[in-house]
Structure 1
């Protein structure tokens, strides 16, 4: 017999399961948000760190709350170097866990009661719903808009309207910056206005910055121009940690940052996530005690070693940003050639494009997904990301060059395109 809560969880999963049909084996995956372009650099470093640093005592249970002290110390230096915090980050400001999902799940458990709601802009990463609802029974209250806001006032107004229409108490909001799946960055004035909105309503502000160091900047137009391309308003990433909360009159105890090595370092399988909360020691300690997702010692050894040489980390990240931008430009060139509307990304490893066209329906999206799979490639259908409009798909571009070009060729086949895109010699 299953418990009542397990039955509710299974019922929720059944109701919210992806409508995407199953795909055959052997397809080229362009749906998973993973950065393959940094792996040739980071893999040997992690491999060497475990080989040289692992000893017999590391096979025992970890006894430290919140994470291995060596990892916390090195991670504090890492965040101070690359996130430009207004107040220096100390080891006691950090909590580790097995990925960003477990960090956010534990945080929501700690700040929300059953039935509370969290505001989150759509389209959004599909994992947020599972993270909030499955165990915590915390509702995601979508913040939607028919057009992209052009200023901070319009931006906050959408949140205000969503909060007014919510049928549950709102305890906070999550901002994914840089954004997944759109790949763009929120201007700093927008973030400041949203922080003040949270302060006015006593809400927690959770900044998911998992793509923060994959900010590669504006792309260069290729051989084909697309006037319908959606260009963002910002190209430089600003961490919430670097904003002067005192100047804004915002209580820092309700401001938290989630991060992970999954995306920027292409290491989703290593399972390491962070919560940074600088002015709420009670919350941090409670999470450290209650956290069920302790980081394994091999992960701690590997990442502490990686972060012990921040000069090498900086060079590695800079090189990867160049690769990400070049890969994004290839996909933009392809989409422009086929006159497909897309959001031009400035960060991350995915692109949001209306591959299904402006006349798409849920049915045609499902049919297209099947045709793409039959052609040997899979994209992330927009329905997974709570897209308000059909036709949108998420395309991963952070792939080895050969796989990327082959994947685009298969997309052409699945689309039954009448014209064939020919990449420039420099792109091959």
Structure 2
């Protein structure tokens, strides 16, 4: 089967491509990319005015399966990813049981292959049961398909354990994805510590709660030579620590979420628990620093930290609510509408942060339009305007602070392995 995409703006940062042209898919693989391709026998899809990119990668999602299928499962999470323009998603290990051994990792990987519309890759836990006291069997998890290790959702408080994790992971050239939070500084906090936490009467979480752990982990990465990745950066101080570390040759990368790029702590004034996230929404100066760091390339990837919750877990008092946003289906439109279209972020930088940026961190072959590679493709229509309606989400999680927002620039086609899995927001097949 031959499928010819015509007239798209093709953006492939990994190969230095930004042109109006055509792309040919044959037998599930990319056959050709050129300014003009003409064939007599091919199904043609006109993409004039649209943006064609390598399939987007979300390196930080919570699919909840096994154990918390009432919040999300691999099937619904995959559907949400496809509708949101993602072709590869990497799922965090805070399941029940935890992804801390080869058996659970294999279950997630196999379940993704059987039921998922997109590529589902497991991330193993750093410590057994995410308890922070004993390393998980890394070699066993790597053999089962894990592409990184993380105790995301729980910081590794013991420095000796984090040092050992970096040293052990280095043997496999595996990144350690760190949730940087000093629980002694953040305990019982509900939002960013500052002016608005005082006004709203909620206990604050200081920026230092993130930064002191980032500093510790960077020092340990320098000591061990391991690969450190900082999850969901949220403060200007964290960015400066990363900048300095890179100047010293320490192997450190980082990601940012759409909600930390767009919302400030002022949004918590609605007391809508959908604004409760960890790390918390920060003040305007931190948001501005994150935007500038993304544009300059200091931040390597945009990741959703997709965290679906049951309705009752959010429909309660702010201090009792679970943290997290259901983000797979809105991430691309949020970045397009709030950052790219207004001119805060170049479209090439956005595509890089969703494709070859995370691919390089995780050692993936995806994230580029190479000839002969599986046809994983994301197409964006920069003119589509839609309102965020959680009731229409494919995800079981309807928890989003962006509900009701009109956004411009949505994914309109998602292809995985040469098969169109979503079109105009609708799942195909």
Q: Same fold (TM over 0.5)?
A: no
Q: Which has the larger radius of gyration?
A: 1
More strand per residue: 1 or 2? 2
Which has more helix, going by share of residues? Answer: 1
TM-score (norm 1): 0.32
